[in-house]
Structures are given as structure tokens and as C-alpha cells.
Amino acid sequence: MSHHTPSVLIFGANGRFGTMATHAFAKAGWQVRAQVRRTQVSWPKEVEPVQIDAMQVDALCRTAQGMDVIVNALNPPYTQWERFARPLAANALAAAKASGALLMFPGNVYNFGKSLPAELHLDTPQIGNNSKARVRIDIEQQLRAAAASGVNSVVVRAGDFFGGEGRGSWFDLVITKSLGKGKLVYPGPMDVPHTWAYLPDLAETFVRLANLRAHLHGVNCLHFAGHALTGAELHLAMESASGRTLRLTSLPWGIIRLAAPFSPMVRAMLEMRYLWQRPHIMEDSALRAQLGDVPNTPFTQALTEALTALNLPTAHPVPILHGA
């Protein structure tokens, strides 16, 4: 009896989550096809890079033929969400329709709007009262509509990303930016829980769910709990991971507000400030029911690995493999 090696196509394989997912699937023995706009890194031998612009939907559909799973890791910059997030998601969905592959998508908490409750359940109402919430709601509605024509999909909703070698998150752009000078910058009140997703754990979760693809019919939405910590807890954990006392400072939101009219990126940051003011944790019983054991690296260890990947000093340096 011939053994079928499962195959996955990862859109946006050069991005933060895309890179991590590419390595996780390759490590698990999958045949990996990595869609990139430009070839930037050296991939493991299991990975076949495919250089295609993600806006070329016909080319994406051709590339998807024969794939068991598609991971949509395409994520435009904050300032280009309104223009590109919906069409990129639609292109990934078209590729899933054309190939019959299971479509997997890393969701987030934007769907719940600016007044999101402290505990987020699968049935928590989604409220499109800001631009990014409306985009995410629209994307998930596309998936629900496509289920009627036989497209199977999985949305794994998670908190703020950290970990890995990529740049571009609150963790590396704000919180740890001045860590080398002995300073931790925190964007919100210190007593408000905030949810974090360690990327190696999230990528491994995608692999484990992909192995269950035969049982994932229609639209499946799952919450990845990750780590929920207050700013004070993060400060203590960061001191433990870095092995030094860290002076705590606040993000100067007043100056940011003054700069907002002159910078699209600053306006985008200001729009998301509510996520640092509103406590939120993810209720993950549905994911645990699917997997039993959900990947969850102890937080101080995850911080140590994340700091090492950013070339920042740690109390106990750990070896970090490329993409791990």
C-alpha cells in the first residue's frame, strides 16, 4: 500500500507566521509549497518555494492544485489593510475552491470590536465598530458562504504574536525595542490582562489540526488561548528571561495622538490602542477538545527564546534553529 505524504501550500511564507508555519510543516514531514513574492531565505529541502504575486489569483489557483491544505498567512501592513486584506483573503479562498484543499487562517481578536468582553468565547458577538474589525468579520463571512459550496476551512483565533526571527509586532517594535538599554515600554495599564500567542506553538497547532483535516468539515472556528498576562506579570517575566532589572516606561500615547494626522502607521496604532486598555483572554475548550494537548511553551522559556531570536540578551541563552 502506497503511503501518501500530505502536502500544504502556504501563502505569505516569508511573513512572520508564514515562515514559522513553513518550518513547522516541513519538520513534521509534510511536502511544503511556499508562495512568496520574492525569494528571501533558504528553505529546508522539504520546501518548494513558488514565486508568485498573491494578487494573481489564477496563478495561485494553479499552484494550489493537488494540495491537501492551504494556509493563508498573507497579512498586509497595517496601513494597507483596507486595500488588500479582503482581496488577498478572497484569492486564498478561490485557491481552496479550485483545489479542494482545507483552508486554514490565523484569526485574531479584532472581530469583537472596541468593547470586547474580558473573556472571548466562540459565540461572543462580533461587532464591526472599527475598520479592522469589519475586515476580519467580512473575511470570516466569506468562509461561511463558501462552505455551502463545499469549501472546508479552519480559523484559529489568537492574540498578539511574539517569537521567531521576524519583525513587525507590538512585542519587537514597542515592548522590547529599548530592552538593550534596560527599559521595557508597555502600551497599556499594568493591571489589564492581554493575550499573547507564541508563534512556534501556534504553528505547531496548525500542523496538528491539519492532520485532522478529514474530520474538519464546513467552517471551524477555534480559539488559541496562548498566554494571558497583565503588564505587571509580563514585566516580571521579562526581567526573569533577560536576567536584569528593567525600568518600566509607558508608551507616550499623547505624543502619538499628536503625530497621527501626519502618519498612516501612527493612526493605525492609535486605532488599536483599545486592545491594551480592555482586558481579554481566549476561552479554548473547543481547541482542546480537538487536540487534547495544545502546544503551550512555558512563558518564561518562550520569552527567552523570543529574545534570543531578536538578538537580545537573556539570562540563559538558548540555541534557536532557523524558523524554530
**pLDDT of 56-72, one tens digit each?**
999 999 999 999 999 99
Domains of the chain: 7-158+199-225+280-295 (3.40.50.720)
Confidence at 321, pLDDT banded by 50, 70, 90: very low
Query: Side chain identity at 286, as an amino acid letter?
Result: A
Confidence at 322, pLDDT banded by 50, 70, 90: very low
Sign of CA dihedral 308, 186, 226, 210: negative
Q: Grid coordinates representing 79?
A: 496601513
pLDDT at residue 204 greater than cutoff 90: yes
Query: How do strand 119-120 and strand 194-198 relate by DSSP bridges?
Result: unpaired
The rounded Cα 84 to chain-centroid distance in angstroms is 17
Q: How far apart are CA 129 and CA 144, in angstroms?
A: 21
**pLDDT of 68-96, one tens digit each?**
999 999 988 878 888 899 999 999 999 99
Query: How do strand 227-229 and strand 69-72 relate by DSSP bridges?
Result: unpaired
pTM to 2 decimals?
0.94
**pLDDT of 219-229, one tens digit each?**
999 999 999 99
Q: How far apart are CA 318 and CA 296, in angstroms?
A: 17
**pLDDT of 18-33, one tens digit each?**
999 999 999 999 999 9
pLDDT at residue 2 greater than cutoff 50: no
Q: How far apart are CA 274 and CA 230, in angstroms?
A: 15
Q: How far is CA 315 from CA 95, 117, 175, 193, in A?
A: 46, 36, 18, 25
